[in-house]
Chains A and B, each alone.
Chain A
């Protein structure tokens, strides 16, 4: 673990980490973009999640929604990783033992695993249930987990500052 802390310490003292930490405008600007990024990421992925749950967009096929919105989800993800990394670099040693940050990272990994499992299993056979208003159980579960996990990620992210 101290190795990980050493990496955090190193990162925090790179010119990038220092610039973000000591800036008057960079930090709040990156934070603002980070919020727009989460709108893009969670908004687009929630469309698919709600469709999988059968709560919305039932008249559209699942594959059509996935084709249309997954690129936006990925764009949001790239923005989040980039801006999140910059924010992290500015206060890495504080994040190292921040429980809310740790929970957030864990939930992001779980959201990734959930999406991966969905694409490997249920979505492989999407042709057989593409237009069904209610998706198969495993797909509904994936949609449900996704919404709950992203809810948790946003909440944990916000709580980093208050714990």
Chain B
């Protein structure tokens, strides 16, 4: 049990390009990019939802990306829940990229291969 946890912990410590927390200021909201990718992890978590995915370019290079959403409470009102995405889902993602050039973005729009569209726009 303990050794399993330690192995897992070790793996996680060298993890994805990710963001600590809040801070939408890190994104360049003047730019909007769209990429196609495959979901590797989906965390419907407070204080911010995160979608991790990989993107393959024309040469077959694989890049890891992380998309940041708003809070579960806001996204729940926009129709999200913890089951809307799962590992392996093919997605088209639009978002504001990080000013730093890191492979992270602020999610704007997310479309699944079946056409289902997920937006971070909460509806009252």
Contact = CB atoms under 8 A, between A and B. Distances in A.
B76 A24 contact: yes
Interface stretch (A52-60, A61-69, A72-80, A88-96): A88-96
A48 interface: no
A3 to B, nearest CB: 7
Interface string B76-112: 1000001000000000000000000000000000000
Contacts of B47: 27, 161
A147 interface: no
A9 interface: yes
A27 B72 CA distance: 10
Contacts of A162: 21-23
Q: Is the interface of A mostly helix, strand, loop or mixed?
A: helix
A94 B20 contact: yes
A162 B21 CA distance: 6
Interface stretch (B9-17, B33-41, B57-65, B113-121): B9-17
Interface string A9-43: 11000000000111111011000000000000000
Contacts of A137: none
Interface residues of B, number: 22
Contact of A91 (B22, B46, B73): B46
A98 interface: yes
A90 B46 contact: yes
Interface of B: 2, 5-6, 8-10, 12-13, 20-23, 43-47, 71-73, 76, 82
Q: Which 6 A-B pairs have the closest CB atoms?
A: A27-B46, A6-B5, A24-B73, A6-B9, A21-B45, A5-B9
Interface of A: 2-3, 5-6, 9-10, 20-25, 27-28, 90-91, 93-94, 98, 160-163
